Structure 1
């Protein structure tokens, strides 16, 4: 179980780490619940369609399931990730699984940065500007990946410490 331990209470740095991991875990749960639930709406299915369509990893989903079906598959995976992150608060093995699922999600979505047209726009100075509707939307996934990696590192450390 991932609770504040007696070690944490006698070592302030460990207590800060525990609180940080707690905040990251539950923030990711909220993100996955919200994003995952949205994938079942037409609005979201149409919104993510250009990302899926241009992705070498995910374009097959449109062929196999259509735009709405592909979005539902992704939503199901995101809700499963939220569930794994939630259960992982109480079970170290599931904690590792949830963190890996979260890392994989954001690693994949960051590839959209390179495969989706319109992410960056050239500026007069030659430096690419990140477009508001596409590029800035994707850039948040860099922070979500970092949060996922921190959670994975913590989960693996707890796994090893109790093994």
Structure 2
């Protein structure tokens, strides 16, 4: 891409600056998660398990209306497997490094909205929010770390006027 300081440049996250090789750990951990979770979406067990999250979420509820419980799960599975593929390709091609990280970040931004829409997140017996239930509350809380990992990869994959990275 261009070397102009006014344009956005893409790079492989873990090769972007000096000592960021450790970002490869984040990339490959996210790949495993997206491969595993994506493949699980093709089972009835997983489709039933994610149904309450989807049906109560204004961003995703339309999937059930159009495609049913299993069809919605298939679509999410394809998206998750596509995210894994982009993350894998991103280890070799800069544009895919940014694309995979952006897809991953979008996934976790959406899943964190489940905190607001899924019944049972706040634990009533402990006084309600901010006390959260083991399931689904604590299950969803891990997505905050996964979002942070995704954003670290994304920010290391994209350079431009707003994202100045100091070279060491």
Q: Equivalent residue of 1:138, what SS?
A: helix
Q: Which moved more, 1:80-89 or 1:128-137?
A: 128-137
Q: Residues 116 and 127 (structure 1 numbering): CA distance in 2 closer, same or farther, change over 3 Å? A: closer
Q: Residues 141 and 44 (structure 1 numbering): CA distance in 2 closer, same or farther, change over 3 Å? A: same
Give the whole-Å Cα distance in 1 for the aligned partners of 2:13 and 2:56: 42
Displacement after TM superposition at 1:128 (Å):
3.5
Paired position in structure 2 for 1:102: 104
Give the whole-Å Cα distance in 2 for the aligned partners of 1:44 and 1:4: 33
Give the alignment partner of residue 45 of structure 2, picking from 43, 46, 55.
43
Between 1 and 2, higher relative CO (CA 8 Å, sep ≥ 6) is seen in 2
Cα deviation, 1:11-32, whole Å, max 9, x if unaligned, reads: xxx22x222x100000000000
Paired position in structure 1 for 2:92: 90
Conserved? CA contact 2:14–2:156, under 8 Å: no
Displacement after TM superposition at 1:121 (Å):
1.3
Give the whole-Å Cα distance in 2 for the aligned partners of 1:126 and 1:155: 39
Higher helix share: 1
Aligned residue runs from structure 1 range 1-163, under 5 A: 2=12, 14-15=18-19, 17-19=20-22, 21-123=23-125, 128-157=130-159
How many residue pairs were aligned? Answer: 153
Where in structure 1 do 4 or more consecutive aligned residues deviate above 3 Å? Answer: 1-5, 123-128
Give the whole-Å Cα distance in 1 for the aligned partners of 2:24 and 2:149: 11
Unmatched 5+ stretches in structure 1:
9-13
Q: Residues 3 and 135 (structure 1 numbering): CA distance in 2 closer, same or farther, change over 3 Å? A: closer
Displacement after TM superposition at 1:157 (Å):
3.3
Tell me the TM-score normalized by structure 1: 0.85
Tell me the TM-score normalized by structure 2: 0.83
Q: Residues 124 and 156 (structure 1 numbering): CA distance in 2 closer, same or farther, change over 3 Å? A: closer
